[in-house]
Chains A and B, each alone.
Chain A
Amino acid sequence: MSEITTKDIAKDSIPETKEKVRKPGLAINQFIPFIAVIALFVIFSITAKNFFTVRSILTLALQTSAITIMGIGVTFTIITGGIDLGIGSVIALSGTVAVMVALAGVPIWLSMIFGLLVGVLTGYLNGLMITKLKLPPFIATLGMMMVARGVALTITNANAWPAPEGFGELGNGTLFGTGPKFPGISYPVIIMIVVAFLFHFILAKTRIGRYTYAVGSNEEAARLSGIKINQVKIINYIFSGLLAALVGVILASRMTTSQPNSASGYELNAIAAAVIGGTSLMGGMGTVGGTVIGSFIIGILTVGLTMQGANYFMQQIVIGLVVIGAVTIDQLKGRK
């Protein structure tokens, strides 16, 4: 490529253009939520008794793990410009499949793999509907939401089947426990941390992550750059399905039963977490870190408000206002 040196000839011919110098730094759409998490934490530590204790922090982490893991998955699909509404139902379906397969005598670990495969399959089907049948992601995944829920109810006959012994280990076990003072970090929390780091790495440091942003930022430019956009989208929906299934298996394990009605409406919380964390529903923007922060804002609010005695309805109102506020800040910033 050494023959292209326009340097010498082009120097004189380029008119000076004054460009706004903008130093890249911590983006405001991640910075504000981050400050919000700290602020909420401090506020509840002061106002709510027992909020700032080891036990309640561990509880907070455990309760937030589900929404964080599924939020990370849905973040991928939102960055491509899509959405995944089916994840709540996929949680129920994968959990019930894992329990039913385990009940059929399959080893526990293998039954859980089956559960995860359910997520891979539903994600793949979502991807096919969106890329091959050209369905809008909203419609394709809305359909999947209904179908997956229906299948979960059908295979369990709408019953909560008790899982075989040992099935509850994944959801209820802990690590590094030292007795009653420090009961240990639950497996779901550890899984959440691993998932967050792994998927952050995938999104920020790998080719598929780069393609995810490219497709969401400008699908036609990505296509004309030779990126196989259908493949990228399908992989993203598989990620989303897989992470939802992971949550499904964990929840089934925590409850040690098949719960075909569980996780209804979770998808909206996960989407809210992504949006609070700075993911743009227009596509092209979002980070795993942002979604983790968004999840914790919702988690802290829920736990903190509960400890202050606010009821569930009050929590809904507050979280709803936070979503609206977070996106408003984003919009105001974009308008400048």
Chain B
Amino acid sequence: MAISEFVQVDTRSPSPTHEVILEVENVSKSFPGVQALDNVSFNLRKGEVHALVGENGAGKSTLMKILSGVYQADQGTIRYKGKIVNFRNVSQSHDAGIRIIYQELNLIPHLSVAANIFIGREPLTRFGTLDEKKMNTDATAILDRLNIHLDPAIQLNRLPVSKQQMVEIAKALSSESEVLIMDEPTSALTETEIDELFAVIHALRDHGVAIIYISHRLEELKRIVDRISIFRDGRSVSTDDYSAIGMDEIVNRMVGRKIENQFPPKQNVPTTEKLLEVRNIVRPGILHDISFDLYRGEILGISGLMGAGRSELGRAIFGADSIKSGEVIMNGRRLSLRSPSDAIKAGIAYLSENRKEDGLAVKMQLAENITMANVQEISRRFGVLSYSREMEAAQRYVEELLIRTPSLSQIVNNLSGGNQQKVVVAKWLFCNSKILIFDEPTRGIDVGTKYAIYELIGVLARGGRGIIMISSDLPEILGLTDRLLVLHEGSLAATLTTAETTPDEVLNYAAGLGTSIKGDVPTPGQS
């Protein structure tokens, strides 16, 4: 694939009939170890819906955070309504008329719809009390303008998520917003709810609001999008009229890059010896009848869009979330999936997506974290701990995994992201885990350390373990795994042999466009 032909930033001056309201010119932003945005340019016209697509890490969110004043650009200019702006914080961008609706709603469940719309700017009576009456009438006016029919006095948490989203939009628009940024607005909505949302978006566009629409669901773009910009690796790849570009081309530009050098050479050779059998896992509304096998020495990827159930599947196998039905069989024994302890005893490890939230006890010491899941191993009689054994174990893993730490008693919070990830790996190696489920192992980790983690995963598989790797980073999945499962809305859309698949095929299945190929499940022996 010729990369160069995709790296053509659209620098045409906007046609005179299209008034540009927001223009981003050559903006760069770096964080320690990561160039999040590299010379990005982008423009937004009044009254258009402009899709922004790209894989995770492409720089979409960073740009949105710069536009809303959360971050400041290192270089480049942002021109808003003809003037160069540099928002220092969110309230400055709000005042200028730029609003973001995040994927997670920022609403207060126990307040009324009107109270949520006017939060922070409540109209007051002349006695300084809340003017509920004015708030309700104004809220009704805003909702009517959007064609949303809601009682403004109703308590927010009585409404379905889709209606809450409408309230979020109303809140954003209550203060004369001219630019509205929507981040994955449909991820929690049903089909009919999406229709309602799109109707509102159309109405907004007709009122002249400029909308940036971020989505991973490529198939829905055709219904609302006027123009589309594609981001990749922190660069703006292209901007086109949506009608002028096909789906294949979008996918190509999203993933089109050489991925050979990002990954270490393959180290593991999958065997045909079954390590784990997962059968008919059902968690209503989240996982639908998922079955697969994992083989000794294999790295199995789990891919899919956000909300497809990737992490949930990993957690189900580990017993971290309760499921309705299904079996996990290891060494011919059916595991109880009621709590993680049975899975841990059987030799399954789950390395959580959010290291700090549920992988590590960050206030505790490095050695204490390493032994946390297998304290029995360092216990003498009556549950008395042996510190010498603990230090011995910690020292061994610090050396083996090259954990950079000033001491074994270092508080984990003070370690870097990559080293924290290694502490989690050490924790599970100390449990003699045979199967390691890595959930987004490289999220928030700089590029150099990513490579080390990839190597580590390869080495673990070479040593005869089975690896399940859950990742939203498609190149990473394709560069590392032997086989991969693609999930679509909680169902297994495809089981693919990595060497024989293409990014397009995976994305197609993930978007629900591919046909199911159940019954033709490849095993490592076949390839």
Q: Which positions in A face B, CB cutoff 8 Å?
A: 1, 3-7, 9-11, 13-15, 17, 19-24, 205-211, 213-214, 217-218, 220-228, 284-285
Q: Provide the bound-state CA to CA distance between A22 and B427, in Å.
A: 22
Most B CB contacts (10 A, CB to CB) among A7, A15, A214, A284 go to A15
- In contact, A222 and B340 (Cβ under 8 angstroms): no
Chain A residues contacting B446 (CB-CB under 8 Å) are: 15
- In contact, B382 and A284 (Cβ under 8 angstroms): no
B383 an interface residue at 8 Å Cβ cutoff?
Answer: yes
- In contact, B357 and A6 (Cβ under 8 angstroms): no
A223 touches which of B340, B411, B451 (Cβ 8 Å): B340
- In contact, B464 and A3 (Cβ under 8 angstroms): yes
What's the least CB distance linking B352 to chain A, in Å?
A: 6
Q: Provide the bound-state CA to CA distance between A222 and B371, in Å.
A: 11
Q: Which of B352-392 contact A (CB under 8 A)?
A: 352, 357-365, 368, 372-373, 375-376, 379, 382-385
25 interchain pairs, CB-CB under 8 A: A1-B432, A3-B462, A4-B400, A4-B429, A4-B460, A6-B452, A10-B402, A10-B452, A10-B455, A17-B416, A24-B407, A206-B379, A206-B384, A210-B375, A214-B361, A217-B364, A221-B372, A223-B339, A223-B340, A224-B340, A224-B358, A227-B341, A228-B341, A284-B363, A284-B364
Given A3-B462, A13-B452, A205-B384, residue A222 in contact with residue B361 (CB < 8 A): yes
Q: Provide the bound-state CA to CA distance between A205 and B388, in Å.
A: 12
Minimum-distance CB pairs A-B, first 6: A220-B358, A217-B361, A225-B373, A3-B463, A207-B383, A226-B344
- In contact, A205 and B385 (Cβ under 8 angstroms): yes
Q: Which of B458-500 contact A (CB under 8 A)?
A: 459-460, 462-464
- In contact, B360 and A218 (Cβ under 8 angstroms): yes
B448 an interface residue at 8 Å Cβ cutoff?
Answer: yes
- In contact, A10 and B384 (Cβ under 8 angstroms): no
- A-B pairs with beta carbons under 8 A, tally: 149
Q: Provide the bound-state CA to CA distance between A224 and B341, in Å.
A: 8
Chain A residues contacting B409 (CB-CB under 8 Å) are: 24
A225 touches which of B344, B362, B385 (Cβ 8 Å): B344
Most B CB contacts (10 A, CB to CB) among A21, A210, A222 go to A210
A14-B404, A15-B446, A19-B419 provided; 8 other pairs, C-beta below 8 A? A6-B456, A7-B399, A15-B449, A19-B414, A19-B415, A22-B411, A213-B361, A224-B318
Chain B residues contacting A284 (CB-CB under 8 Å) are: 361, 363-364
Q: Which positions in B face A, CB cutoff 8 Å?
A: 33, 264, 318, 320, 339-341, 343-345, 350, 352, 357-365, 368, 372-373, 375-376, 379, 382-385, 399-402, 404-407, 409-411, 414-416, 418-419, 427, 429, 432, 446, 448-449, 451-452, 455-456, 459-460, 462-464
- In contact, A22 and B406 (Cβ under 8 angstroms): yes
Q: Provide the bound-state CA to CA distance between A207 and B358, in Å.
A: 20
Chain B residues contacting A228 (CB-CB under 8 Å) are: 339, 341
- In contact, B459 and A9 (Cβ under 8 angstroms): yes
- In contact, B414 and A225 (Cβ under 8 angstroms): no
Given A225-B427, A228-B339, residue A206 in contact with residue B385 (CB < 8 A): yes
Chain A residues contacting B427 (CB-CB under 8 Å) are: 225
- In contact, B33 and A226 (Cβ under 8 angstroms): no
- In contact, A10 and B414 (Cβ under 8 angstroms): no
Q: Provide the bound-state CA to CA distance between A210 and B368, in Å.
A: 8
Closest to A219 in B: B358
What's the least CB distance linking A29 to chain B, in Å?
A: 12
- In contact, B419 and A221 (Cβ under 8 angstroms): no
Most A CB contacts (10 A, CB to CB) among B344, B361, B376, B401 go to B361
- In contact, A208 and B383 (Cβ under 8 angstroms): yes
Chain B residues contacting A210 (CB-CB under 8 Å) are: 368, 372, 375, 385
Q: Provide the bound-state CA to CA distance between A249 and B495, in Å.
A: 67
Q: Provide the bound-state CA to CA distance between A256 and B446, in Å.
A: 68
What's the least CB distance linking B313 to chain A, in Å?
A: 15
- In contact, A225 and B372 (Cβ under 8 angstroms): yes
What's the least CB distance linking A288 to chain B, in Å?
A: 16
- In contact, B361 and A5 (Cβ under 8 angstroms): no
Most B CB contacts (10 A, CB to CB) among A1, A14, A22, A284 go to A14
What's the least CB distance linking A220 to chain B, in Å?
A: 4
Chain B residues contacting A205 (CB-CB under 8 Å) are: 384-385
B402 touches which of A7, A23, A221 (Cβ 8 Å): A7
B459 touches which of A6, A22, A218, A220 (Cβ 8 Å): A6
- In contact, B401 and A6 (Cβ under 8 angstroms): yes
Chain A residues contacting B410 (CB-CB under 8 Å) are: 22, 24
Most B CB contacts (10 A, CB to CB) among A4, A9, A285 go to A4
Q: Provide the bound-state CA to CA distance between A253 and B350, in Å.
A: 53
Q: Provide the bound-state CA to CA distance between A227 and B350, in Å.
A: 14
Closest to B315 in A: A224
Closest to B448 in A: A15
What's the least CB distance linking B382 to chain A, in Å?
A: 7
- In contact, B379 and A207 (Cβ under 8 angstroms): yes
Chain B residues contacting A222 (CB-CB under 8 Å) are: 361, 372
Most B CB contacts (10 A, CB to CB) among A4, A15, A221 go to A221
Chain B residues contacting A10 (CB-CB under 8 Å) are: 401-402, 452, 455-456
Q: Provide the bound-state CA to CA distance between A223 and B409, in Å.
A: 22
- In contact, A14 and B407 (Cβ under 8 angstroms): no
- In contact, B418 and A14 (Cβ under 8 angstroms): yes
Chain B residues contacting A19 (CB-CB under 8 Å) are: 404-406, 414-416, 419
Given A214-B364, A218-B358, residue A207 in contact with residue B375 (CB < 8 A): yes
- In contact, B341 and A285 (Cβ under 8 angstroms): no
Q: Provide the bound-state CA to CA distance between A222 and B452, in Å.
A: 27
Closest to A213 in B: B364
- In contact, B402 and A6 (Cβ under 8 angstroms): yes
Closest to B456 in A: A6
Chain A residues contacting B414 (CB-CB under 8 Å) are: 19-20, 22
What's the least CB distance linking A25 to chain B, in Å?
A: 10
Most A CB contacts (10 A, CB to CB) among B360, B373, B449 go to B373
What's the least CB distance linking A215 to chain B, in Å?
A: 9
Q: Provide the bound-state CA to CA distance between A22 and B363, in Å.
A: 14
Chain A residues contacting B364 (CB-CB under 8 Å) are: 213-214, 217, 284
Chain B residues contacting A14 (CB-CB under 8 Å) are: 402, 404, 418, 448-449, 452
Closest to B383 in A: A207
Q: Provide the bound-state CA to CA distance between A10 and B403, in Å.
A: 11
Q: Provide the bound-state CA to CA distance between A209 and B382, in Å.
A: 12
What's the least CB distance linking B463 to chain A, in Å?
A: 4
Chain B residues contacting A11 (CB-CB under 8 Å) are: 402
What's the least CB distance linking A16 to chain B, in Å?
A: 8
Chain A residues contacting B360 (CB-CB under 8 Å) are: 218, 221
Chain B residues contacting A15 (CB-CB under 8 Å) are: 33, 446, 448-449
